[in-house]
Amino acid sequence: MTAFDDLMAFQRETSALGEIAGRLGWDQETVMPRGAAPQRAEEMAAIEAVLHARRSDPRVAGWLDQADPQDQVGQAQLREIRRSYERTVKVPADLATAIARVTSAAQGIWAQARADEDVTAFLPVLDEVVALKREEGAALAQGGDVYDAMVEDYEPYTTGVQIAEIFDEMRPRLVALRAAVLDKPAPDGLTGKFDELAQIGLSQKLAIAFGYDLNTGRIDKAVHPFSSGSGLDVRITTRTSETDPFNCFYSTIHEVGHAAYEQGIDAAYALTPLGRGVSMGVHESQSRIYENQLGRSRAFTGWLYGQMKDAFGDFGIANEDAFYATVNGVHNGYIRTEADEVQYNLHIMLRFDLERALMAGDLQVNDLEAAWNDRFNADFGYAVDKPSNGCLQDVHWSVGLFGYFPTYSLGNVYAGCLYQALRAAVPDLDSQLAGGDTSGATAWLRENVQQHGGLYAPRETIQRASGMEPGPEPLLGYLEQKFGGLYGL
């Protein structure tokens, strides 16, 4: 056994324990008895303590010093293990404990403040969270940029400056596109009620159509749709609304995108650092391209229209073109998670700029609400009416997730690049999708993106797959063309 072999054997057990922690999270959101919550908190803390001890185990440092793999895969494994180890040991244990304690309390305070529409009730604990996260960021950055150090947790090898460059290019064109679209008449919305069991049935059909392997996965209902797990056990959840079946269908397709990425990774990387999606942004590129570029395309919605008529009978939409317009309707709204393709990234850029300023010390927590409302008005053209529609709408900051938001839009940007390359590689894509056949698209994504797992850095992953330096132009072109056509701009 070489040092590298020892390290990988140790790492394999750590990955297996990490999978267990993930499974507990799935259990908690789907099947756990309500009254089990206090005990579950202790169980999660116990396994997290085990994982933390392993990630910072002094033996890892020794193995890292001695290991010298000669092949590309081994070197990539070493790179990711080193990154995780160095990250873990840089943060003092008492600071990590303080963050865990304060964010746990802050989440409950946030939920109550949102219910009460009371920003001031949330600000003191948010101030604590921000202070602790800045301290953590400083420990991680070691003189470098604090916010960059945080982004590193979700989007490795990517900086705030890089993200800002991309976002600065996108914002004016998206603001203009949004204004032009909303100047036009809105398409019809759905009316009536849609049987929820039939929604579940059709969402399972959609999952299979997009290549989700139910032999190593399952679909359950949960309050918030999510995907969890890797390797041979990748589960998704969805939800139903009697009046809005699109919520169920597109949540399912989105989560199938995440799950297909995990299921598509080379089996040789299972239970290693390379055996998971390489970053949140690349993960989101998969969920978004499945959901939007493929799932909300004219071709695929034509097929879905027929499926919905089979499942629900006549539901008041006259034909495929009208259905395509309904699926892609753009409407005013305050809530990020309900936003359409045109407006979604504007919600993200707002948060990115604010959280980056918070971390830099350029924005104080007390000024957050005003800054949010000003920016919202500037981009969307109307005022935030209440905090739950404004700066209290998302859980992220309460639980210390700074640096996470921009990965959603990076995912869209990456999806734009991939989609451009995919269209060139699969010329008859539309005719396939019109028959409900995604296999040409999903096979290309598996071959060019998914199979590699963590082998390449995130931007390199997209660059290799799409054959271009990742940038916003393909996404912006796609959006302007799609919504220009839909709204007759």
- Side-chain-side CA neighbours of residue 310 (13 Å): 9
- Select the residue interacting with a copy of itself from 40, 52, 79, 83 (CB under 8 A): 40
Q: For a copy of itself, which residue of 16, 115, 176, 335 counts as binding (CB under 8 A)?
A: 16
Q: Does 215 bind a copy of itself (CB under 8 A)?
A: yes
Cβ atoms of residues 402 and 395 within 8 Å: no
CB of 27 or CB of 473, closer to a copy of itself = 27
| Interaction of residue 93 with a copy of itself, rule CB under 8 A | no
Report yes or no: 178 and 346 within 8 Å, Cβ to Cβ.
Answer: yes
Phi and psi for 220 in degrees, rounded to 5? -125, 170
* Beta strands 219-221; 227-228: pairing state: unpaired
176 binds a copy of itself (CB under 8 A): no
Question: CA-based diameter of the chain, in Å?
Answer: 69
Among 255, 262, 291, 341, the one annotated catalytic: 255
Contact between 17 and a copy of itself per CB under 8 A: yes
Dihedral of CA atoms 55, 59, 60, 63 in degrees, nearest 10, equals -170
When binding is defined by CB under 8 A, the residue of 6, 12, 118, 204 that contacts a copy of itself is: 12
CB of 234 to a copy of itself, least distance (A): 8
Residue 478: name the closest of 343, 332, 285, 341 by CA: 341
Question: Least distance (Å) from a copy of itself to the CB of residue 47?
Answer: 6
Among 5, 13, 168, 362, binds a copy of itself (CB under 8 A): 13
| Binding status of residue 5 toward a copy of itself by CB under 8 A | no
- The DSSP element (H or E) to which 239 belongs, if any, is none
Rounded CA Rg of the chain: 23
Site for a copy of itself in 230-289 (CB under 8 A): 231-233, 235, 270-271
- Hey, which residues between 458 and 487 contact a copy of itself (CB under 8 A)? none
Read off the tokens for 126: 């948010």
Q: For the chain, percent helix, then strand, then coil, each to nearest 5?
A: 70, 0, 30
In the structure encoding, which two tokens stand for residue 312, read together? Answer: 């629900």
47 binds a copy of itself (CB under 8 A): yes
CA 329 to chain centre: 22
* Number of residues binding to a copy of itself, judged by CB under 8 A: 38
Report angle CA 279, 284, 290 to the nearest 5 degrees: 140
For the bound state, the minimum distance from the C-beta of residue 19 to a copy of itself, rounded and expressed in Å, comes to: 6
- Note whether 131 binds a copy of itself by CB under 8 A: no
Cα–Cα distance, 371 to 47 (Å, whole number): 39
Binds a copy of itself by CB under 8 A, chosen from 42, 65, 94, 183: 42
Question: What is the distance, to the nearest Å, from the Cα of residue 206 to the centroid of all Cα atoms in its chain?
Answer: 20
**In this complex, which beta carbon is closest to a copy of itself, that of residue 236 or of residue 294?**
236
* Cα 203 from chain centre: 20
Q: Counting contacts by CB under 8 A, is residue 197 touching a copy of itself?
A: no
284 annotated active-site: no
Question: Judged by CB under 8 A, which stretch of 60-68, 163-171, 214-222, 243-251 contacts a copy of itself?
Answer: 214-222
Find the part of the chain contacting a copy of itself (CB under 8 A) among 42-50, 278-286, 368-376, 456-464: 42-50
Is residue 227 helix, strand or coil?
strand
Among 24, 111, 138, 175, binds a copy of itself (CB under 8 A): 24
Q: Does 29 bind a copy of itself (CB under 8 A)?
A: no
In the complex, least distance from residue 12 CB atom to a copy of itself, rounded to whole angstroms: 7
**From CA 331, how far away is CA 267, in angstroms rounded?**
43
Six-digit token string for 399: 């639980």
Q: Please, what is the minimum distance in Å from the beta carbon of residue 31 to a copy of itself?
A: 7
Answer yes or no: are the C-beta atoms of 237 and 187 closer than 8 Å.
no
Which residues are designated catalytic? 255
Residues at the interface with a copy of itself (CB under 8 A)? 12-13, 16-17, 19-20, 23-24, 27, 31-40, 42-43, 45-47, 49-50, 213-218, 231-233, 235, 270-271
